[in-house]
Amino acid sequence: MTLLEVDGLSAYHGLLHAVRGVSFTVPERQILAVVGANGAGKSTMLRTIAGAHKAAAGTVRFDGADITTRPAHRRVKLGIALVPEGRKLFADLTVEENLQIAGRHARPGPWSLGTVLDAFPILVPLRKRPAANLSGGQQQVAAIARAVMTNPRLLIVDEASLGLSPMAVDGVYECLRVLQDAGTTLLLVEQDLQRALSVADDVICLLEGRIVLSAPTGTVTRDHVTAAYFGLHRSERA
């Protein structure tokens, strides 16, 4: 079943036409990886889907309902959660307090403070530590856990591994695998092409706000994606 359907989506970042007529679908329980160079429109697209950025044209449908004009907090109630680039944790609050704040606005579901800490045991010894005192990898796991506290059906993660050590990235992806096993649908922006191709069911590549490659990951190679990434190959696959 299709959980997310994006059709002809356009959005601006200031005066820049950052997203240009983007269309794709994400089936339930699948992982879609989004790749592209800096400035390709990835973050603007994710924020528009999550309701944090206004769409200029096109539609966003979630579980069959048109949510294009719904505000972000209503999308959270429907089951959409965004882990933004830079994590955006409340720096002076503890890990536990960050999670509890998200939990106050949660939709009904299996995730609670207890189940989230069970799923992400790395956070248990850190629960009383201020978010500002965490490493980059620990902050990313905490940001993912905070989003999970809302009981999302669709988790959107912007720049999952950016700026993290290889060991920290492994920890982040262990957390994402836990969510995948629990049935969460994932929309993932990732700079590491090999990592993206290894975990996702499908991949799309953005270039100057447009999709220039869209394919199941099993049908493309790293070279195909790299060529699209740099604009050397502009074929678009359904």
pLDDT digits (tens, 9 = 90+) for 8-67: 999 999 999 999 999 999 999 999 999 999 899 999 999 999 999 999 999 999 999 999
Instruction: Quick: pLDDT tens for 144-158.
Output: 999 999 999 999 999
Q: Is the pLDDT of residue 235 over 60?
A: no
What pLDDT does 192 receive? 85
Q: How much is the pTM? A: 0.90
Angle of CA points 40, 134, 172, to nearest 5°: 50
Model confidence pLDDT, tens digit, residues 74-90: 999 999 999 988 778 99
Whether the pLDDT of residue 170 is over 90: the answer is no
Considering only the top CATH level, what class is 2-229? alpha beta
One-letter amino acid at 127 equals: R
In 14-158, beta strands by DSSP E: 16-27, 31-35, 57-62, 65-66, 80-83, 154-157
What does the alpha-carbon distance between residue 106 and residue 10 come to, in Å, rounded to a whole number?
29
Q: Across all residues in the chain, what is the average pLDDT?
A: 91
pLDDT tier at 193 (50, 70, 90 boundaries)? confident
Structure-block tokens of residue 237: 């696959």
Q: If you average pLDDT over residues 132-141, what whole number do you get?
A: 91
Confidence of residue 233 (pLDDT cuts 50, 70, 90): low
Q: Mean pLDDT throughout 171-179?
A: 86
pLDDT of residue 195: 86
pLDDT of residue 180: 87
**N-term to C-term CA, the chain:** 17
Residue 237's pLDDT band (cuts 50, 70, 90): very low
